[in-house]
Structure 1
């Protein structure tokens, strides 16, 4: 008979107190538990002799630490802050997390999170290999996402030893969990699911899990993660790490609310940089504007038609033909970018240009990277993990693009590798992850394969900001980065994420309503979509998945586009983009004639967005100042309302507006759930409803169903009947008007600042405390009555 291998004992033999924590030692492992704050505990588990001392780029820096009370009993070790209590089993090292019982601290409060009784923490050592730079036999493959390297399977060298790590735990029966970034599948509640969290064209991997019970788990690895929840239990698996590290997060206010967990995540990993005000207007893009003349004509047409616009976006191939990724413009098509940008700026229109991390060998930029040793091994990608390479990448960007006045950078294809786009049929989720591990791990450090975009964004953000602060002429500008990939901490770098290159279908639109909520619960405030889908037609590869070969000629596509556009107006960033047909709002009119209900609906949606800009920018400011959320699922805002948890296709935009996108064609009315605990007003009709009920509401073609919470105070642009045509117009002196929805006392903190530059970081902003007194029927600003001319009180319609 075979001899059974004896497991190494996990029994804790030694407890050592440290500043703000303890180190627990058994024959099998060392485990460190630290109080980062009363609401954040750090747990680090290793089977090495010592813990890793490697600096973690994804964290915000040195955090002060907090008192952690330790009491030892026969069978357990109890660790307690004012908010969280953790009990550690002496026999197995299993940790169980509770709310701290403030009445009797020696008795745990409500159960939050429990690790598995057997093998709660697992590690497996493996050797890590990377390509050498000696041989390049793998070649490249051409996709709609550009030319991609295919690694040679030989010519690798061992670079170190790492670990596969797994945290095993049990979730409670009625508990829901959310987050993990943006998955392609239409899922919000992750219970009963397996999530492969690696970077891909249509996936964004952020290993933050948030519970409906008001706590979160940040699995601190920058390699791919698998979350699995089944009848056998739950786990978080990290592919490559030095040790098993995670943070247990409670709400920063100690109230165990989901938005408080997001605030705790930001305290740990850094504030979300505040974007300039113009970013929250309408941004026009397409694949692609081919000349300076075309780009200027688009901006001029918007201004002539008096349709709101704040930015135009120049997609790929602005370089000379054959010089993929070169950061200079083709002089025949773009003869003078500085003149072009100056002309745009005179019209209060900003510009964004696409730049790529991979470069063709014919590019001067590639040759310079190669000569200075700034490429990843055997690839066309610059080494964003290396500080020297980031500096050179910025210098190449600065020489022409930055100096010619582009306001923002679209850092496309920031995953570094997207092997799933090399297939003609869609790979299975496990296959996508397997190939990502193989390809990304060949070129990049295995423990950082989910973090290429982090370092890529870091370099451009910091150099842009530094360059702006040295400017001697003109106003300083905040960095803006549009990108497709992100991981822990990347919200610090002015990043707007988008959902990837999607296909035009109602199924995609429905999925995106869930994706924005999931991504918001992953700690990131700024997200947008390619309105109308990137691919409108059906192509041969699996990802070219549009359903409308006639594009604008098809009334079914026009209806889909209008509904998508209305949804896009109630995202943090409002941007149209795609291929197969131009996306300027007047293009849809060419198929419907002079009386175009579709074009009218698009223009009406832009008008509404601009009227709401003071509210939107105020909420963005508080996202930075208070670590708040622009998008909140109903489960976050109404945790005690079980029906609200299930109404997943509705969400809050800011604290007061509930958005209910139309997600099916040809319908004249739809069901909407109004959460209990407050009254609700229909934005369009001013009809009031009691909360805690389902209602049927009309779905007029030119409207998105929108409801406002009773007691809400909404700052709006006051342009009379004419909507502002750019963000600057919406904030001119005397232009702000407050709309009040009565029925109970209300309050609102109205944030305002210069709209650009860095004064806000030094306290140069204003936070007005607005209050509505229902009995007096009066609005107050910092306890002073607001003039009636600046207030609109909504009268309930019958």
Structure 2
């Protein structure tokens, strides 16, 4: 075992700092004012740079050519090395100071006010054990809480958890306790409740690893956490806050923002393995599914096509092979779904059975992962038998995969691709992958494979159909997967426990940079969900960015919206609510694509100063304005809800205001979807939308709570093309402000996209008094006292006493800036 306990040398190269110790050697980069890189190795020299996860670098990297269209090369902050009187050294990026203690060797990071954010465990900072595993130990205290870690089970705060970083096919997992799951994102957010400060730690190492967040204890070392990898080096990025939201933003500056998916990807995606396993006419069964959705008033915008469509005569899955008995005319089938207003996302898998008809061609083109001696191609266990695995770190592997994807799928009109079973559970860790010419062992690259599979699909669609916005769905992945794919949490079991714990799993992914995530609604594995469970799962699932009911039931049933006819009304109502929220969802997706902000947010993300929400795992915020408190347990008729400090809250069911910091009891029945609007909240909706392919969002109902000044950015583009990248979008900043006895709602737009919204209706909450007058761009708006007349009018306003909302309707102005003013002066009807 080797431990870095003593500084032996330090050399300033201006762009970076080299440090040698009696254990590891280190290289420090001040990447910018929010990110400090601490790279270490116990080897004689640093390995060449190979960073698939990073889009911001200050060094030459083997992936530069591959990622040229998404990587930003920056000039690091110059190193100004200072030696202190106590013999320690320090460098600063202008916001944070890194102090290097010579003996016992350790790093400490402080902010401008002197708060310690990170501190190595002195005497046990960086260690390599006798198995060659590098470990980094961090000192912690009683006030620390930990969030993120990618796709992890259990509650949102991972304090006192020990978690394994590893990709595995976790069929039927338990969302409360199973570990690991499908994705590996070695990043966490540390929040100290005493100081109120947050920072992030990203360990850019794709080998299997472990985080221990105060689960292990030693009286000799007191309290600590650690990260240990099975191979490779400790390559640590300190990510600045000071808020949790800022940590997420700065982390996604480093690893990339969420991909801007096509608008219809926010719709309901039908799916089940059952339909593609029928003996014949699977295409007709899926077309009938879409028709049945319409018959039951269930909006639907797509279908995830399970892998049964690729079955050969022996029943095995052969990717890119259409089973012509089940799907006689794939091109016509794709077109039929488009005509019905639905996209098709076929399932594709990177493991290719030895009996696959393309195997010899792929081998001849060096497309597979190789054996450790590079003399052959690795064979391992896979679904259906022994298989080779496509090497997505190889230009040849990516090229061959894209070629066959073009021929089998893209050429017939498919632009949505579902990457499945891509955990790369190759048992021989010494098998070799190309790694852009560096030829690394697979143990260092497994989760990279699934991420690069997503990039390959994303890039292939761009190349084949340059004007089309790709829609890629991935089951596995590494840090940065958000740049290419929407993800979901794999093959969950159909249990109440998994309904409940799907919420913190998704929230943790959002804090780990993956804003566009969901789960299989109703559960994938096991018997069909009972009616109450299914209804509650749909009512929760409508708030997930990816919304798909998907099943492989073990009792010969199919989980479909109408599977329990007496309950279909609840399913239909919930999905219609989701569709009405499309303008809000799409704006939040754009926010994720520009700032990295999660769409579903834990309460601690918005209210980190409220100590009561530090481990709240089941209530969540949808964007900045809506608090969702779904029913997640069986047989509940009253729900206990906590509403955080920092806002007051409007119960959207009862129109009752509740003070922030309150615990309340909410009566619920089977149709209840408890939602609370934050004071200052702004929520754009479009009631009546039922298909995002065939309908245009031409009317907006804007719910506004004006008690606190607030703003929201409403985003529009054509929803399907790449034109938004050249400025063909419209972003409207909607701001609420008080002005004397008036409330003003200001609209300021930018971008060259001409809005499709023809009519606006503002729904402004009036907490104490109704407006006396309303004007639009200084022009008086007519008040209606008759609701029916108001509904028939194109413009005017009406006060709804039941909801205490001022309803203001008008045709959308052509100007880029305008204001709606509501005057609340009391009219004296008594005095003369």
TM-score of Structure 1 vs Structure 2, range by shorter chain: 0.7 to 0.9
> 1:362 and 2:367 equivalent?
no
So what's the TM-score if we normalise by structure 2? Answer: 0.79
Per the alignment, do residues 656 and 439 of structure 1 end up closer, same or farther by CA in structure 2, a change over 3 Å counting?
Answer: farther
1:761 Cα deviation after fit? 2.3
1:488-637 alignment to 2 at 5 Å? Answer: 488-493=479-484, 495-537=485-527, 551=528, 557-580=530-553, 581-589=557-565, 596=566, 598-637=567-606
> 1:38 and 2:33 equivalent?
yes
1:168 Cα deviation after fit? 0.6
1:647 Cα deviation after fit? 2.4
Q: What residue in structure 2 maps to residue 351 of structure 1?
A: 344
8 Å CA contact retained: 1:224, 1:450? no
Task: Write out per-residue CA displacement over residues 531-568 of structure 1, whole angstroms, 9 at most, x where no aligned residue.
Answer: 1111232xxxxxxxxxxxxx37xxxx110011111111
Query: What is the number of equivalent residue pairs in this alignment?
Result: 691
1:94-493 alignment to 2 at 5 Å? Answer: 94-101=106-113, 109-124=114-129, 163-183=132-152, 185-202=153-170, 203=181, 204-212=183-191, 213-230=197-214, 231-232=217-218, 233-241=224-232, 243-251=233-241, 256-290=242-276, 291-319=282-310, 320-322=312-314, 323-376=316-369, 377-379=377-379, 380=387, 381-417=389-425, 445-469=442-466, 476-493=467-484
Per the alignment, do residues 78 and 369 of structure 1 end up closer, same or farther by CA in structure 2, a change over 3 Å counting?
Answer: same
Partners of 2:760 and 2:424 lie apart in 1 by: 54
Partners of 1:15 and 1:761 lie apart in 2 by: 45
Task: Write out per-residue CA displacement over residues 488-524 of structure 1, whole angstroms, 9 at most, x where no aligned residue.
Answer: 122111x121111111111111221110111111111
Partners of 1:166 and 1:87 lie apart in 2 by: 20
Q: Bigger CA drift: 457-466 or 773-782?
A: 773-782
1:190 Cα deviation after fit? 1.3
> 1:24 and 2:8 equivalent?
no
1:176 Cα deviation after fit? 0.4
SS at 2:742 equivalent: coil
8 Å CA contact retained: 1:563, 1:663? yes
Per the alignment, do residues 502 and 777 of structure 1 end up closer, same or farther by CA in structure 2, a change over 3 Å counting?
Answer: same
> 1:13 and 2:8 equivalent?
yes
Q: What residue in structure 1 maps to residue 817 of structure 2?
A: none
Per the alignment, do residues 630 and 77 of structure 1 end up closer, same or farther by CA in structure 2, a change over 3 Å counting?
Answer: same
1:174 Cα deviation after fit? 1.0
- Unaligned ranges ≥5, structure 1: 102-108, 127-162, 419-434, 470-475, 538-550, 590-595
SS at 1:585 equivalent: coil
8 Å CA contact retained: 1:414, 1:484? yes
> 1:724 and 2:685 equivalent?
no
Partners of 2:336 and 2:213 lie apart in 1 by: 55
Per the alignment, do residues 18 and 278 of structure 1 end up closer, same or farther by CA in structure 2, a change over 3 Å counting?
Answer: same
1:280 Cα deviation after fit? 0.5
SS at 1:563 equivalent: helix
Partners of 1:125 and 1:794 lie apart in 2 by: 65
Partners of 1:663 and 1:43 lie apart in 2 by: 42
Partners of 1:248 and 1:619 lie apart in 2 by: 27
8 Å CA contact retained: 1:86, 1:97? yes
So what's the TM-score if we normalise by structure 1? Answer: 0.83
Partners of 1:765 and 1:100 lie apart in 2 by: 39
SS at 2:689 equivalent: coil
Per the alignment, do residues 789 and 55 of structure 1 end up closer, same or farther by CA in structure 2, a change over 3 Å counting?
Answer: closer
Task: Write out per-residue CA displacement over residues 710-757 of structure 1, whole angstroms, 9 at most, x where no aligned residue.
Answer: 11111111x4xxx21112466433x12211123222211112222122
> 1:85 and 2:54 equivalent?
no
8 Å CA contact retained: 2:28, 2:38? yes
Q: What residue in structure 2 maps to residue 780 of structure 1?
A: 746
Partners of 2:319 and 2:23 lie apart in 1 by: 52
SS at 1:317 equivalent: helix
1:125 Cα deviation after fit? 7.5
> 1:673 and 2:642 equivalent?
yes
8 Å CA contact retained: 2:260, 2:590? yes
Q: Tell me the C-alpha RMSD between the 2 structures.
A: 2.5
Task: Write out per-residue CA displacement over residues 472-500 of structure 1, whole angstroms, 9 at most, x where no aligned residue.
Answer: xxxx322222221111122111x121111
Partners of 1:664 and 1:732 lie apart in 2 by: 35
Partners of 2:454 and 2:650 lie apart in 1 by: 41
SS at 1:37 equivalent: coil
